[in-house]
């Protein structure tokens, strides 16, 4: 699935990823994917962001189970993530949570050597081979023997995660860069009566495909969900935590906040929920970054949106400053003022695409590239 080269070719457009992710939002209402170096601040933000969405969409019982698996899994990948100072795209780890139609699918990943892979695969196979009763006995055996593996094998936490999840856990090892990228997938059924373990067994391959797409365009973060104040704030904190070591990236969270508030204000929604359905992605481009948002717009608004963006992209620096500096309430409330600010801050023209498919409303994708 992956090239053996350290630098992967960019084959798929970031616009296409936003589009394919966003158009499924009515059936898969929440997604958060993050790759890179994990620390306690980043994992805390992920937990805060996810907890609110869990409680909005499903019962406290389901939310509690998902939350437990997230805590255990995030601690595990933080402990065993791959460290590489050479610029490898596999530096750090991978975390993906996706609310599918039948279950919450949670995938963790990190690069491992061939030696670690051999031990890990043996331990995971032992877990998968056991039924519910045998897993409980195995858990007690490890507990009594203090059986933790220094290489991230079948320790107490991993066995307990297998016990708490719905159905069997899934794992894959993809050959890459002289070793393997290790994927672990666990699921929590939204409704046990509707849960099909055979369908869920393929969720890991969907997560692997998403990771590959993220690698191809160097996407760092993808979020899909309802955009309201709470989610915007947590995503802003995530941006700050992810990029806090780079002085040149300071203030990017404010750009993201402006971008997502624009979605929250103007997006079209057919969902009966608080907030507007949208997608956000952070992409690294050489030494800079780009931010994308994606959302439905009302049918018939395509020409108006394009006209507005062409007008904003055609403004000179002095014209941008003149619009931004106006203090009168009637000017400050005009539609497009937020996009004018983004155009000024970024120093680039605003990129955009409008895609149409079937009977669905048009899908509007916005790109803000930063200097």
3-state secondary structure the chain: CCCCCCCCCCCCCHHHHHHHHHCCCCCCCCEEEEEECCCHHHHHHHHHHHHHHHHHHCCHHHHHHHHHHHHHHHHHHHHHCECCCCCCCCCEEEEEEEECCCEEEEEEEEEECHHHHHHHHHHHHHHHCCCHHHHHHHHHHHHHHCCCCCCCCCCHHHHHHHHHCCCCCEEEEEEECCEEEEEEEEEEECCCCCCCHHHHCCHHHHHHHHHHHHHHHCEEEEEEEEECHHHHHHHHHHHHHHHCCCHHHCCHHHHHHHHHHHHHHHCCCCCCCCCEEEEEEEEEECCEEEEEEEEECCCCCHHHHHHHHHHHHCCCHHHHHHHHHCCCHHHHCCCCHHHHHHHHHHCCCCEEEEECCCCCCCEEEEEEECC
> Which pair of structure tokens corresponds to residue 179?
């070793």
Cα separation, 243 vs 249, whole angstroms: 6
pLDDT for residue 328 = 44
> Which pair of structure tokens corresponds to residue 88?
């490898």
- Residue spans per domain, the chain: 14-299+355-369
Q: Are strands 103-112 and 288-296 parallel, antiparallel or unpaired?
A: unpaired
Low-confidence ranges of the chain (pLDDT < 50): 1-10, 148-154, 327-329, 331-335
Q: Is the distance from CB of 111 to CB of 180 less than 8 angstroms?
A: yes
Angle at the Cα of 122 from the Cα atoms of 121 and 124, rounded to 5 degrees = 65
Cα separation, 143 vs 285, whole angstroms: 47
- Number of C-beta neighbours around residue 281 at 10 A: 26
Cα separation, 139 vs 144, whole angstroms: 9
């Amino acid at each position: 699935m992956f090239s053996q080269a350290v630098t992967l070719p960019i084959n798929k457009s970031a616009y296409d990823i936003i589009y394919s992710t966003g158009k499924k939002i009515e059936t898969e209402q929440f997604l958060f994917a993050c790759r890179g170096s994990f620390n306690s601040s980043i994992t805390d933000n992920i937990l805060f962001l996810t907890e609110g969405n869990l409680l909005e969409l499903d019962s406290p019982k389901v939310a509690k189970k998902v939350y437990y698996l997230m805590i255990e899994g995030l601690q595990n990948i933080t402990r065993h993530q791959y460290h590489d100072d050479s610029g490898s795209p596999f530096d750090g780890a991978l975390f993906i949570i996706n609310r599918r139609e039948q279950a919450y699918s949670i995938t963790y990943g990190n690069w491992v050597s061939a030696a670690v892979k051999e031990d890990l695969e043996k331990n995971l196979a032992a877990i998968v081979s056991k039924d519910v009763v045998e897993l409980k006995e195995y858990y007690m055996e490890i507990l009594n023997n203090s059986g933790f593996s220094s290489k991230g094998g079948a320790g107490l936490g991993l066995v307990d995660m297998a016990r708490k999840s719905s159905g069997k856990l899934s794992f894959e090892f993809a050959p890459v860069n002289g070793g393997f990228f290790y994927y672990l997938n666990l699921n929590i059924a939204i409704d046990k009566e509707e849960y099909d373990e055979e369908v869920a067994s393929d969720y890991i391959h969907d997560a692997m495909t998403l990771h590959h797409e993220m690698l191809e365009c160097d996407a760092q973060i993808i979020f899909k969900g309802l955009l309201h104040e709470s989610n915007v704030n947590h995503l802003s904190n995530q941006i700050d935590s992810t990029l806090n070591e780079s002085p040149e990236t300071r203030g990017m969270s404010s750009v993201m906040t402006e971008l997502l508030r624009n979605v929250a204000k103007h997006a079209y929604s057919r969902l009966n929920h608080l907030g507007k359905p949208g997608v956000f992605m952070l992409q690294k481009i050489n030494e800079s970054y780009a931010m994308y948002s994606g959302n439905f717009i009302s049918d018939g608004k395509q020409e108006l949106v394009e006209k507005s963006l062409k007008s904003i992209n055609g403004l000179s620096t002095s014209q941008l400053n003149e619009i931004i500096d106006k203090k009168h309430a009637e000017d400050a409330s005009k539609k497009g003022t937020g996009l004018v600010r983004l155009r000024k801050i970024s120093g680039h023209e605003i990129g955009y695409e409008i895609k149409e498919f079937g009977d669905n409303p048009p899908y509007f994708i916005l790109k803000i590239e930063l200097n």
